[in-house]
Amino acid sequence: MSAAFATIGAVADGSTALTVDWPASLAAGRLIVLASLNKSPPDVPVTPSSPAFSLQTMLSAGEGSDATSDQGEVNAALFTRESDGSESGTLSFSVPDASVTQAVMLSFTKGSGESWALAYASGSQDTASTSWSVVLGSDPGFIAGDIALLVQGVNSNTPTSVNTRALAVPGCTVSAATERVFAVTGTGRDQCLHVCEFAVTAGASSGAATYTANVPPSATAFAPTGPVLLLRVRAVAVATGTTLTGPSSGVVGVPSSNFTVGVTPTGGTISGTLTVTPGDASDGGTFTPTSVELTTASPTGTFSYTPDDAGTKTISITDDGGLADASSVSYVSLPPPELSGAITASDAAASGNLSTGASLLTGDVTTADAAPTGTLGLQFSTVASLPFTRNPGNGGRLVNLPNIAVAVLTDDANLVRLNGSTGLLMAGDGRVTFANGVPVPPGSSVILLTREPGLNGALGVDRRITT
């Protein structure tokens, strides 16, 4: 549900110390707004602490001498608190050294499971006139369902009313004003407190609001002038769970496109900062970043996933706020693509780096290995990429692979020997075995090799297979 006006207390009138009536029928969760007006600055209210209120905004404005009645600056302020249901009777409110102070409290309701989202803006009428037009400095971000509560302070008690009020909000449809308070006082050096509200019925704001009103009966050299405060009142759902969406597949050793995390319901408020941590059921992959922070102002975030091996991965998230975690998603990690094929226009570069992210067999290739036959000693190690030079005249093979002969996704640390000109692999018992009998585990990814005679022992890559 949207926020709605509930009740209002009586306007308190005095100088330095007031007792302000609480609004009737308070219940836990209601928003209480305390609006005050006093003369003369720099005399400003003390923010109530028992029970505690928060100051939302305050502004002093007005023309003329502060020492003279019906002119000078007046100070308007807005304070809020969320009711705990225990407030009753009156609130003590203090403005040291003020000559005149008025204050009033209003209450607003929200739906179950909602929280309050408040914003404010302010401006002033600095030229004495019965026709006010005040630009309220910044855009508080109105959307349909919001309430715009407006507090107008006048530096004289001569107004007989405030009428023909309107609030123009770029991008929004706004209702006519509903008056909540019109109170003049002859205490001290005279002033007038006016409070009204507007309902935003459609749209989303795209700029600062402008308040216009008529303040009869007449103007002097310095009055009526004064401040205008605006409080945006909104009730929003509280985030109760998280969401997770993302790609369905990718390649071993290659970062995925972004996964996106958010909260449900969409637009739900987040208390402080929510830290969301992704995981892959301890399957060895890498997340970048390792966690994502969400706030009400930034309620979504992204991360990528780099799988360590092939297979179907389960990507999940947890959070530190006790929200219901989103359902996990499956991510299919595919073996790296084949490393050979015809050279195309996109392969025009003569050399580069072929990222593999795999464990690689390495060893020195020397002139002694130039012949198409013989034995080449290799050993496992890990490197980040596979440097290569293309050989357009040799069927598009990748050749001149220094110190690297074959990529095998396995943790086997044994010395492996490849015999003959083709790096022969033999099948046996459902496994792939090197010619010398060293097994390669099922599911491993293997690059088949072909010796390139006359190329200083360089190795051409034919294709990649998965055992």
List per-residue pLDDT tens for the chain, 467 residues long: 589 999 999 999 999 999 999 999 999 999 999 999 999 877 899 999 999 999 999 999 999 999 999 999 999 999 999 999 999 999 999 999 999 999 999 999 999 889 899 999 999 999 999 999 999 999 999 999 999 999 999 999 999 999 999 999 999 999 999 999 999 999 999 999 999 999 999 999 999 999 999 999 999 999 999 999 999 999 999 999 999 999 999 988 889 999 999 999 887 889 899 999 999 999 999 999 999 999 988 999 999 999 999 899 999 999 999 999 999 999 999 876 543 333 333 333 333 333 332 223 333 333 333 222 222 223 223 333 333 333 333 333 333 333 333 333 232 322 232 333 333 222 222 223 333 344 444 444 444 333 333 333 333 333 333 33
Quick one: pLDDT at residue 398?
A: 36
- Could you give the CA distance from residue 387 to residue 382 in angstroms, rounded to a whole number? 13
- Could you give the CA distance from residue 227 to residue 232 in angstroms, rounded to a whole number? 17
Report which residue type is found at 258: N
- Residue 2: both structure tokens together: 């949207």
* 82 sits in which H/E element: strand 74-82
- For 24, the 3-state DSSP assignment is coil
Query: Which segments of the chain belong to CATH 2.60.40.3450?
Result: 241-334
- Could you give the CA distance from residue 39 to residue 66 in angstroms, rounded to a whole number? 8
Residue spans of alpha helices (H) in 81-155:
none
Dihedral-angle region of residue 462 (phi above 0 means left; psi in -120 to 50 means alpha; beta otherwise): alpha
Report which residue type is found at 236: V
- Could you give the CA distance from residue 274 to residue 323 in angstroms, rounded to a whole number? 9
Torsion of CA 430, 434, 440, 446, to 10 degrees: -100
Q: Give the CA count within 13 Å in the CB-facing half-sphere of 8.
A: 15
CA–chain centroid gap for 179, Å, is: 37
In the β-sheet with 163-168, what is the strand arrangement from edge to edge? 131-136, 209-214, 163-168
The pTM of this model reads: 0.63
- 189: Cβ–Cβ under 8 A, 6 or more apart, which residues? 39, 40, 66, 67, 68, 69, 70, 72, 99, 100
- Residue pair 336/251 in contact (Cβ under 8 Å)? The answer is yes
Quick one: pLDDT at residue 336?
A: 62
Q: Give the CA count within 13 Å in the CB-facing half-sphere of 142.
A: 33
Q: What are φ and ψ of residue 369, in 5° steps?
A: -100, 15
Quick one: pLDDT at residue 385?
A: 34
Residue showing tokens 């996704």: 409
Q: What are φ and ψ of residue 368, in 5° steps?
A: -65, -20
C-alpha closest to that of 241 among 262, 260, 258, 259:
262
- Could you give the CA distance from residue 63 to residue 41 in angstroms, rounded to a whole number? 12
What CATH class has 241-334?
mainly beta
How many CB atoms within 10 Å of residue 464? 18
- Residue pair 329/261 in contact (Cβ under 8 Å)? The answer is no
